[in-house]
Amino acid sequence: MDLIKTSEWQTLLAHKTRLDALHLRDLFAQDAQRFSQFSLELDGLLVDYSKQRIDAATLNALLALARHADVPTWRDRMFAGEKINVSENRAVLHTALRHMDTTAFPTQDNNVMPEVHFVRKQMRDIVERVRSGLWRGFKGDAIQNVVNIGIGGSDLGPKLATRALSSLQHPGLHFYYVSNLDSAHLAPLLEKLDPRTTLFIVASKTFTTQETSLNAHTARTWLMAAATEEWAIAKHFIAVTSNTPKALEFGIPAANILHIWDWVGGRYSLWSAVGLSLALAIGMRGFERLLEGAEKMDQHFCQAPLEKNLPVLLALISIWNTNFLGAETTAVLPYNESMRHLPGFLQQLEMESNGKTVSREGEALACRANPIVWGEIGVNGQHAFFQLLHQGGWLIPCDFVVAASSDYPLPGHQAPLLANCLAQSSALAFGKTEAQAKQELAASGLDEIAIAKLLPHKVFAGNQPSTTILMPSLEPYQLGMLLALYEHKVFVQGVVWGINSFDQWGVELGKQLAHSLLPALEGEQANDAQLDTSTRGLIAYFRRYGNN
């Protein structure tokens, strides 16, 4: 039955009408226990969703919707290795990558763990050799620079995590992430690197992605200009891929090829050898701690009752905000500088997974699915777009994410950072009433006329919902929990909306068109007549000014 016709959906619509009359100020005033009722802590990760526009009755109705959508069954099917990615006929088993004990997974009959352990051992070997200086370049030098060449899921996860955990990084190694086709990404880097001490990781599940392929070939040419002998590639290139023949064809020897499986989606691949650059940065033990944190969240997701289940709760709240309160976008606001790549990572995770309008059966969805995800470092955002969050009149739910202790402590910085984070979520929730604003203006000595003039500008509507996620510190275990929390949140949302969250057909059309436009841009006589007039005009401009 159509989701929106279910009694659960209709009940939620009634709750929306009821809650429309209540401000977050009222919800807090009515319930002194609101924080303890609407927050949960798991192994130090505190999730406070008390500033969301829900009450106990609404949450119960949302939980009923999750039961109606059979969330526990779908979750169990995913963990059992069933081929729930129907459009690609694939299982979804990134959870196997963080299955840390020696038992079979997902089942005794379909045990993927021997392969997972094999690749983990390959990773460990590489990590130990590079970090200890045993891995040598073509001139016998130890590696000093690691360049991950990849895009999308083969870039965003390891880039986020390496930056987030940079305080734990090996002091003798530098890490770079190259994704853009624009040579301005790779060229300045190559200018400053020494080929003798540089190791490239070509991370590409398909090994056919244009951006990665072009950057990898340019990097190989750069290396060969210095090394001249083909055998040098083995000293400076590692591939992470499921397409071994293509990696071999590129010239990377089998011993340097780390496998990923079709059951690992690109945006869920940090936990695989796609995380090799991270493991090189923080060591294999650190990488395992990340996996252990993610496994902790997997266990919580599988075992906790729905009403105490963090991914389920965050998913339901997001559905509430999107489908009932009408939010069209959602902001991710990390406050730690080292978490600066979190918004980008979550954009792919959420929007590539659930940015769809058809169900897994191919039918049109009856409601809007994923909102637009965007974000920025919190304090920077405060001095840029927060004005609109406070007084712009848009409903924009926010996720505030912050670690309580600093990874790079300097005296006097951390408390103000936290104060700003907490002040913003509070200001967004409670705002400032006209009476409060008036009182403040009067107290500042203004006369009635001046007060009346300024008053409209000084009122804050508030009622802007947010969730605050606090971690004790930026440690691999905590980060693993956080990212797995978001992964499962996205999965639950997909289940409720009836979406297959693990395919991404929407990115194909642009790739096809780029391929077909290339000859025209490269100067070949193109059959321009087939092109739309806009594209034709833009190509003409490029022919005038562009360089190849």
Stretch that binds ligand F6P, among 122-130, 140-148, 204-212, 489-497 (CB under 6 A): 204-212
Helix 434-443 to helix 448-458 angle (10° resolution) is 140
Using rule CB under 6 A, residue 266 touches ligand F6P = yes
Tell me if residue 515 falls in helix, strand or coil: helix
Among 50, 212, 272, 318, binds ligand F6P (CB under 6 A): 212
Among 10, 206, 387, 530, binds ligand F6P (CB under 6 A): 206
- The tokens describing 146, both together, are 């690691």
Cβ burial 106-129 (10 Å sphere, 16+ → b, else e): beeeeebbeebeebbebbbebbee
8 Å CB contact between 291 and 100: yes
Binding mask 499-528 for ligand F6P (x = CB under 6 A): -----x--x---------------------
Using rule CB under 6 A, residue 202 touches ligand F6P = no
Q: Least distance to ligand F6P from the beta carbon of 267, Å?
A: 6
Stretch that binds ligand F6P, among 160-168, 201-209, 378-386, 533-541 (CB under 6 A): 201-209
Residues 6+ apart with CB under 8 A from 117: none
Containing H/E element for 488? helix 476-497
Examine the residue annotation and report whether 383 is marked as an active-site residue of this protein.
yes
Q: Least distance to ligand F6P from the beta carbon of 344, Å?
A: 12
Q: Least distance to ligand F6P from the beta carbon of 269, Å?
A: 7
8 Å CB contact between 51 and 45: no
Number of residues this chain uses to bind ligand F6P (CB under 6 A):
14
The dihedral built from the CA positions of residue 462, 482, 266 and 146, taken in this order, carries a sign that is positive
Using rule CB under 6 A, residue 356 touches ligand F6P = no
Q: How far apart are CA 473 and CA 496, in angstroms?
A: 33
Among 120, 131, 205, 360, binds ligand F6P (CB under 6 A): 205
Using rule CB under 6 A, residue 154 touches ligand F6P = yes
DSSP code per residue over 418-474: HHHHHHHHHHHHH-B-HHHHHHHHHHTT--HHHHHHHHHHH-B-----EEEEEESS-
Using rule CB under 6 A, residue 152 touches ligand F6P = yes
Residues 6+ apart with CB under 8 A from 163: 338, 339, 340, 341
Tell me if residue 535 falls in helix, strand or coil: helix
Using rule CB under 6 A, residue 151 touches ligand F6P = yes
CA quadruple 288, 294, 295, 298: dihedral, nearest 10: -170
Using rule CB under 6 A, residue 256 touches ligand F6P = no
Stretch that binds ligand F6P, among 34-42, 70-78, 145-153, 193-201 (CB under 6 A): 145-153
Exactly one of 434, 511, 515, 522 is catalytic; which is it? 511
Using rule CB under 6 A, residue 267 touches ligand F6P = yes
Task: Decide whether 209 or 256 has the Cβ nearer to ligand F6P.
Answer: 209
Q: Looking at 196-243, which runs of residues are DSSP E strands? A: 198-203, 237-241
Examine the residue annotation and report whether 356 is marked as an active-site residue of this protein.
no
Among 58, 85, 209, 318, binds ligand F6P (CB under 6 A): 209
| Phi, psi dihedral angles at 18 (to 5 degrees) | -65, -45
Task: Decide whether 156 or 317 has the Cβ nearer to ligand F6P.
Answer: 156
| Total count of residues recorded for the chain | 548
Q: Least distance to ligand F6P from the beta carbon of 94, Å?
A: 12
For residue 471, the one-letter residue type is: M
- The tokens describing 360, both together, are 């897994």
Q: Least distance to ligand F6P from the beta carbon of 120, Å?
A: 19
Using rule CB under 6 A, residue 85 touches ligand F6P = no
8 Å CB contact between 371 and 332: no
Beta bridge partners of 48: 39, 468
Examine the residue annotation and report whether 352 is marked as an active-site residue of this protein.
yes
Q: Which residue is nearest to ligand F6P (CB)?
A: 266
Q: Least distance to ligand F6P from the beta carbon of 151, Å?
A: 5
Task: Decide whether 212 or 347 has the Cβ nearer to ligand F6P.
Answer: 212
Tell me if residue 400 falls in helix, strand or coil: strand
Q: Least distance to ligand F6P from the beta carbon of 463, Å?
A: 36
Using rule CB under 6 A, residue 323 touches ligand F6P = no
Among 81, 106, 153, 158, binds ligand F6P (CB under 6 A): 153
Using rule CB under 6 A, residue 246 touches ligand F6P = no
Q: Is 279 exposed, middle or buried (0-12, 13-18, 19+ CB in 10 A)?
A: buried
Exactly one of 352, 376, 475, 487 is catalytic; which is it? 352
For residue 313, the one-letter residue type is: L
The residue among 479, 220, 485 whose CA lies nearest residue 349 is 485
**Annotated active-site positions, please?**
352, 383, 511
Q: Which residues bind ligand F6P (CB under 6 A)?
A: 151-154, 204-206, 209, 212, 266-267, 352, 504, 507
